Structures are given as structure tokens and as C-alpha cells.
């Protein structure tokens, strides 16, 4: 009887210690990705933080902003969808076996579009389940584009394959005259634009292989072409960033080109007044969107994270977040972002989305 009582006392004491320890952990608060105290000095606040169930040996790879959601993809192709305003999980599931390429994730009406391996898939945004699947006889070079009637897919055969949207049967294909690889595609109801690794930007009719116009840069188009209204922005490996305006169905006009001090490897980020372009070894350059003139350059800058009230928030290769004044071109302040290894470029609003490999995902926003 005495031994039983002693055992009960010991168990009760251990339980009390566990409860105390749990209470201390809760009182200590979340394991913040970035210190709230540091952010407060920079007039930023944490809107939400979520810790995703990333398994041991797996790491968070990409953050993709699509409409009102963000999609986080691991290197094992496990996807988590989060509401980007509140951070709550909408769905989480594996979308492909590890090692299968996932190319693009775009919202068209009420469906997400992606190419997973050699499959063109429609994904239900609320569940992450595939609703329509088309097995392709070829891989893809860049994300698919579509309008109400067609899908447009660039294949490794240097052809743009056009499939009917309803039954996904191919109706025509087209290629650049120089037979260069098509690396970027944009489509709407009136135009289809594509860029090539030879530096061509070509417009064709959406429903037949008829060329409308062609613009030739000096070298390969770096990353996707960005459309903003009736303007196209793109970087070329000839070291220039270009703005083309679509005059009408048959004509385009070069508005400006800005020469960088290095060869760009990615697409520009285009906001209301600024075009941001990264170039390896030379950092991030901000270009006036209307005149194509230099606003500022940040040698350690890697990516634009967001804009707010005339400020650009830039992550650097030194593990900091830097706020740049887009009026004066001066650096305002920096914040320690040493724990941040994943991020998304947000050109929609002022929210900043950051993460680490372990699965901590946070949303920050300016306090003003």
C-alpha cells in the first residue's frame, strides 16, 4: 500500500512538472521567425505566423502567391495552402511524388492550373485535389498559359502546342522562325505572346498560327515576360530591361530599355510605379516605370518582397531586410532576417511573406 502511494505521488509530481513546463512554453510565446521587437523598430508587425508540419529530411522549397492564397511547396512535393490574410490552412497534401517537376501554379477562374510531370492538371483550390488531368506526350519548358478557349504549352521540341480548353485536344502548333526554345508564354482572348532563348518576343493570333508582330532583343529572354495592362516588361541576357507597349493588334512600340551592369537571370518585378530587376553580383536595381530611368541600386539586394507608402522592402544576401525610399533613393533602415531562407515577391499589396526551411511561415505588414 505504501509503495502504491509513493508511485502515485511520483506520477503526480511528474504530471505537475509537465504541466508547468507546458505553461512556461506557452507563456514564452511562439518560436518567432523574426523578432517582434526588431520589427517594431522598423515599424513592421507580424500579421500571422504558422508552423507547417515539415517532416525530418524534408524542407520548404517555394512560396507562391496566387490571388487570396499562398501555396507552400516542399522539396518532396508536399503542398500546403494558406489564406494569405489570416494564415489558416486551407488544405495540405502531397501533389506529386518527390522528384517530379511541378511547373507553374496559376489561377484561371475557379481552378488552379499546373503541369506536374507530364500531366496538365486542374486543381481544386479548396481541397488541392486534381479535377481534370491530361497526360501529355511531351514535357514542358515553362508554365502553361490559357484563355477561355485554349491551353498553350511550350515543349522541349521548340514548339508552342495549342490545346482546346474543353477536351485538351491539340489543334495547332507554332515555332519561332529561328527554331529557338520558347521559354515564356502569356495568353488572353486577343493575344498570345511568347519569348525565346534567342531574344525574340512574338505575338500570334490566339486561334491560329498567324504571327502578328515580333520584337528582337539582343540575347535570350531571362525568365518570364511580365504583362502589365497593355505593356510588356522583360529582361534580356543582352543586359537590358525592356518595356514594350502594345499599340494595337498588329503593332508594338519600344518605350524604353535600361542597361544593367550585369547579365540578368530572372524576370523583373513590376509594380505601379517601379520596375525592379535583379542581376547576379550587382544586386537589385529600381527603374522608373514610365521613363525607364534609374531610381536606386542596392548591391546586396536579392529580391523585392513588397512595397508600401513609397518604400520598397528588399531582402539581401547579407541576411537582412532593407527598406529603400523610392523618392530619394536612399536606404532607410535594415532588420536582421538571418533566419529567413524562403520568401515570395509580392507586387499586389504591402504584405511580406517569409519562411525558413523548417516550415515556419510568417506574414508581415507595415504598421502605418
For the stretch 295-314, pLDDT in tens is 999 999 999 999 999 999 99
Sheet holding 221-228, edge to edge: 221-228, 231-236, 240-248, 251-259
- Tell me the pLDDT tens digit for each residue of 8-39: 333 333 333 333 332 222 233 479 999 999 99
Residue with cell 504598421: 367
Reading the block at residue 132, the C-alpha cell is 481534370
Q: Cα separation of 340 and 49, whole Å?
A: 13
CA 176 to mean position of chain CA atoms: 27
pLDDT of residue 54: 87
Handedness of CA 116, 80, 364, 84 (dihedral sign): positive
Q: What pLDDT band is residue 3 in, cutting at 50, 70 and 90? A: very low
pLDDT of residue 249: 87
Mean pLDDT value of segment 344-359: 97
- Tell me the pLDDT tens digit for each residue of 160-184: 999 999 999 999 999 999 999 999 9
pLDDT at 198 over 80: yes
Neighbouring CB atoms inside 10 A of 28's CB total 8
Rounded-to-10 torsion of CA 126, 131, 136, 140: -10
Give the H/E segment covering residue 63: strand 60-66
Q: Cα separation of 238 and 262, whole Å?
A: 9
Q: Classify residue 268 by its DSSP letter.
A: -
- Tell me the pLDDT tens digit for each residue of 208-228: 999 999 999 999 999 999 999
Predicted TM-score (pTM) of the model is: 0.90
Neighbouring CB atoms inside 10 A of 86's CB total 10
Amino acid at each position: 500500500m505504501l509503495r502504491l502511494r509513493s508511485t502515485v505521488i511520483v506520477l503526480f509530481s511528474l504530471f505537475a512538472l509537465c504541466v508547468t513546463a507546458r505553461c512556461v512554453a506557452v507563456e514564452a510565446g511562439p518560436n518567432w521567425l523574426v523578432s517582434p521587437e526588431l520589427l517594431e523598430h522598423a515599424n513592421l508587425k507580424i500579421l500571422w505566423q504558422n508552423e507547417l508540419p515539415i517532416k525530418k529530411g524534408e524542407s520548404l522549397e517555394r512560396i507562391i502567391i496566387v490571388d487570396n492564397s499562398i501555396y507552400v511547396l516542399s522539396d518532396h512535393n508536399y503542398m500546403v495552402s494558406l489564406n494569405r490574410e489570416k494564415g489558416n490552412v486551407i488544405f495540405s497534401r502531397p501533389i506529386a511524388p518527390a522528384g517530379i517537376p511541378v511547373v507553374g501554379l496559376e489561377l484561371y477562374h475557379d481552378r488552379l492550373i499546373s503541369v506536374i510531370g507530364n500531366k496538365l492538371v486542374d486543381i481544386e483550390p479548396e481541397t488541392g485535389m486534381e479535377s481534370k488531368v491530361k497526360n501529355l506526350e511531351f514535357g514542358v519548358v515553362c508554365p502553361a498559359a490559357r484563355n477561355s478557349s485554349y491551353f498553350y504549352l511550350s515543349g522541349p521540341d521548340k514548339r508552342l502546342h495549342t490545346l482546346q480548353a474543353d477536351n485538351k485536344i491539340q489543334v495547332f502548333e507554332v515555332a519561332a522562325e529561328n527554331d529557338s526554345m520558347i521559354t515564356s508564354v502569356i495568353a488572353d482572348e486577343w493575344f498570345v505572346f511568347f519569348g525565346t532563348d534567342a531574344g525574340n518576343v512574338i505575338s500570334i493570333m490566339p486561334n491560329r498560327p498567324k504571327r502578328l508582330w515580333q520584337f528582337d532583343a539582343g540575347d535570350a529572354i531571362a525568365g518570364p515576360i511580365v504583362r502589365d495592362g497593355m505593356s510588356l516588361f522583360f529582361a534580356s541576357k543582352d543586359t537590358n530591361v525592356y518595356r514594350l507597349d502594345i499599340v494595337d493588334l498588329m503593332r508594338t512600340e519600344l518605350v524604353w530599355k535600361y542597361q544593367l551592369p550585369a547579365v540578368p537571370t530572372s524576370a523583373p518585378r513590376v509594380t505601379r510605379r517601379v520596375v525592379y530587376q535583379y542581376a547576379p553580383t550587382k544586386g537589385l536595381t529600381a527603374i522608373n516605370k514610365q521613363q525607364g530611368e534609374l531610381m536606386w541600386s542596392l548591391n546586396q539586394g536579392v529580391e523585392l518582397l513588397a512595397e508600401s507608402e513609397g518604400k520598397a522592402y528588399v531582402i539581401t544576401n547579407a541576411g537582412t531586410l532593407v527598406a529603400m525610399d523610392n523618392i530619394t533613393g536612399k536606404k532607410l533602415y535594415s532588420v536582421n532576417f538571418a533566419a529567413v531562407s524562403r520568401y515570395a515577391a509580392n507586387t499586389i499589396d504591402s504584405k511580406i511573406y517569409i519562411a525558413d526551411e523548417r516550415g515556419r511561415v510568417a506574414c508581415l505588414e507595415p504598421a502605418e
